[in-house]
C-alpha cells in the first residue's frame, strides 16, 4: 500500500474553507487520547478546556484579553509569511516593544504627566518592535543571512535584556526585591472598557488592525505585491516588484504590531514590567497565522480559539491537575494537523495498493 499525492489542477476552494475545521476535529480526537493516557476522563477534560471558559463573563473577557496580542502579532506574521519572509522572532519584538514603552512609564512615574503618556508609550512600543524586527530583515537583504535563525536568536537577547532592566535599573525600590517595575501610573495604563472588568482598549485596537490588514491585502497595490512575491517570486521579478523592499516592509509591520501588542499587554492586563509577561504569545501567534489561513478575518477567529486553549489550560490545571504543558502539546499537534490538511488544498491523496497497481506506459 502506498500513499500518492496528485497535484490538483487548481486550489480546492471548498477544502480551503473546511480544512481548519478538520484539523481542529483531529486535534480534539488526539487530545482525548492523550487525556486518557494521563488518566483523566477525556469528556470532562475537554469540557473544562473548551466549554467552561465560555460560560461566565469573567472568562469571556479573559478570552478576548488573551486573543488581543495573539491576533495583533499573527496579522503581522501573516504578511511576512505571505511574502515568504520567515519572521519567527515575534516573541522578541513583543518583549522589546514592552520594554520601550515601559521606559516612558518608568521615567514619568509620579511626575504628574498628562494624558499624552499612554499614546506616546504605544508609539514607542510599535517603533521599537519595528526596529528590532528590521535587524534580521536587514541582515537578510543586505548580507543574505537567513532570517529564520537570526530573528529567533534575538528572542533570547530580548528576554535577557528585559530581565536585566527589571532586576537592575528599573526595579521597584519598594518591591521587596522582586524583579518588577513599580505599578504604572493611571495615565500610563490602557483603560478598561467595562468598569471593574478585564476587557481593555487593546481589543478595539486589535479589531482595527484586522480591518486595516484586510484593506491592505485586498484593496491596495502593496498588498497585491506582498502576495505575488510570496506565491510567484519570478512573476514578481518580471512585474518589477522589489522583493527586498517588501521583506523590509513586512518585517517592519509585523515587528511594529508585535511591539504594540507587547506594550498594550504590559500597560493593560499586567500593569507593570516583569519577566514572563508572555506565555509564548509570539510563538503561538505563528499557529494562529496558519490556522487563520494567513487571512486577517481567519486570524481573528483562530486567535480567539487559541486564546481558549490558554484559558482552558489554566482551568484544567486548577480543576483537574492537568499539567500546563498539555496546552503546548495541544498547540503543536494543532499546527501539525493544520499543515497536513492544507496539503489537501494543493494535492489529492490516493492510496495505491501494490497488488492492483498496473504498470503504466506513460510514466
Partner 1 sequence: MELVEAIVLAVLAASTPLLIAATGELVTERAGVLNLGVEGMMIVGAACGFAGAWLTGSTTLGALCGIVAGTLLSLIFAMMTLGLAVNQVATGLALTILGIGLSGLIGAGFVGEKVTPAAHLHIPGLTDIPLVGRILFGEDAFVYLSLALLVGVWLFLYRTRAGLVLRAIGDNHVSAHALGYPVLKIRLFAVMFGGACAGLAGAYLPLAYTPFFIPGMTAGRGWIALALVVFSSWRPGLLVVGAYLFGAVTILQLHAQGAGFGIPSQFMSALPYLATVIVLVLISRARTGGSTAPAALGTVFVPDR
- Binding residues for partner 1, rule: CB under 8 A, are 3-5, 7, 86, 88, 135-136, 139, 143-146, 148-150, 152-154, 156-157, 160-161, 163-164, 167-168, 283, 286-287, 290, 323-333, 335-336, 339-340, 342-343, 346-347, 349, 360, 363
Cβ at position 324, least distance to partner 1 in Å: 8
Smaller CB separation from partner 1, 50 or 347: 347
Distance, in Å, from the CA atom of 303 to the CA atom of 290, rounded to the nearest integer, reads 11
Cβ at position 241, least distance to partner 1 in Å: 22
Q: How far is CA 211 from the centre of its chain?
A: 17
Cβ at position 154, least distance to partner 1 in Å: 7
Residues comprising the chain, all counted = 363
Smaller CB separation from partner 1, 203 or 326: 326
DSSP percent split of the chain into helix, strand, coil, nearest 5? 70, 5, 25
Q: Looking at the chain, list the stretches that DSSP marks H as alpha helix, in order from N- to C-terminal side.
A: 13-37, 42-46, 57-82, 90-107, 117-143, 147-167, 202-219, 221-231, 233-238, 243-265, 281-291, 296-320, 325-346
Nearest residue to 148 via CA among 251, 37, 224, 67: 251
Q: How far is CA 27 from the centre of its chain?
A: 19
312 and 49 in contact (C-beta within 8 Å)? yes
303 and 313 in contact (C-beta within 8 Å)? no
Cβ at position 306, least distance to partner 1 in Å: 12
Helices and strands (H and E) in the chain: how many = 13, 2
Cβ at position 160, least distance to partner 1 in Å: 4
Smaller CB separation from partner 1, 122 or 229: 229
Smaller CB separation from partner 1, 211 or 329: 329
H or E segment and range at residue 348 = strand 347-352
What sign has the CA pseudo-torsion 205, 161, 120, 198? positive
H or E segment and range at residue 361 = none
Cβ at position 139, least distance to partner 1 in Å: 5
Angle at 226 between CA 222 and CA 230, to 5 degrees: 165
Cβ at position 271, least distance to partner 1 in Å: 23
Smaller CB separation from partner 1, 169 or 173: 169
Cβ at position 344, least distance to partner 1 in Å: 9
The values of phi and psi at residue 224, to 5°, are: -60, -45
Smaller CB separation from partner 1, 145 or 204: 145
Smaller CB separation from partner 1, 188 or 288: 288
263 and 98 in contact (C-beta within 8 Å)? yes
Smaller CB separation from partner 1, 61 or 151: 151
Amino acid at each position: 500500500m502506498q500513499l500518492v499525492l496528485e497535484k490538483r489542477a487548481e486550489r480546492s476552494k471548498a477544502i480551503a474553507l473546511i480544512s481548519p475545521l478538520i484539523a481542529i476535529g483531529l486535534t480534539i480526537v488526539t487530545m482525548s487520547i492523550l487525556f486518557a493516557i494521563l488518566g483523566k476522563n477525556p469528556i470532562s477534560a475537554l469540557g473544562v478546556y473548551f466549554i467552561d471558559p465560555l460560560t461566565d463573563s469573567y472568562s469571556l473577557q479573559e478570552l478576548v484579553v488573551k486573543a488581543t496580542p495573539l491576533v495583533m502579532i499573527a496579522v503581522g506574521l501573516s504578511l511576512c509569511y505571505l511574502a515568504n519572509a520567515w519572521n519567527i522572532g515575534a516573541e522578541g519584538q513583543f518583549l522589546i516593544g514592552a520594554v520601550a514603552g515601559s521606559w516612558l512609564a518608568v521615567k514619568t512615574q509620579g511626575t504628574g504627566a498628562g494624558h499624552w503618556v499612554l499614546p506616546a508609550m504605544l508609539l514607542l512600543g510599535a517603533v521599537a518592535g519595528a526596529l528590532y524586527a528590521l535587524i534580521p530583515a536587514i541582515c537578510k537583504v543586505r548580507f543574505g543571512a537567513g532570517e529564520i535563525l537570526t530573528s529567533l536568536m534575538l528572542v533570547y537577547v530580548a528576554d535577557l535584556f528585559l530581565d536585566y532592566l527589571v532586576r537592575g535599573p528599573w526595579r521597584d525600590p519598594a518591591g521587596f526585591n522582586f524583579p518588577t517595575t513599580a505599578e504604572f501610573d493611571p495615565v500610563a495604563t490602557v483603560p478598561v472598557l467595562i468598569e471593574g472588568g478585564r476587557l481593555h482598549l487593546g481589543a478595539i485596537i486589535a479589531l482595527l488592525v484586522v480591518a486595516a490588514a484586510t484593506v491592505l491585502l485586498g484593496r491596495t497595490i502593496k498588498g497585491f505585491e506582498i502576495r505575488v512575491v510570496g506565491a510567484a517570486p519570478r512573476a514578481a521579478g518580471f512585474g518589477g516588484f522589489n522583493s527586498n523592499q517588501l521583506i523590509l516592509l513586512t518585517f517592519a509591520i509585523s515587528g511594529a504590531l508585535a511591539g504594540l501588542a507587547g506594550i498594550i499587554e504590559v500597560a493593560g492586563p499586567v500593569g507593570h514590567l516583569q519577566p514572563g509577561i508572555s506565555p509564548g504569545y509570539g510563538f503561538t501567534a505563528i499557529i494562529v497565522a496558519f490556522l487563520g489561513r494567513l487571512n486577517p478575518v481567519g486570524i481573528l477567529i483562530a486567535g480567539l480559539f487559541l486564546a481558549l486553549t490558554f484559558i482552558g489550560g489554566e482551568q484544567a490545571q486548577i480543576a483537574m491537575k492537568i499539567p500546563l504543558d498539555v496546552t503546548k502539546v495541544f498547540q503543536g499537534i494543532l499546527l501539525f494537523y493544520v499543515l497536513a490538511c492544507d496539503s489537501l488544498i494543493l494535492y489529492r491523496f490516493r492510496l495505491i495498493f501494490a497488488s492492483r497497481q498496473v504498470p503504466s506506459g506513460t510514466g
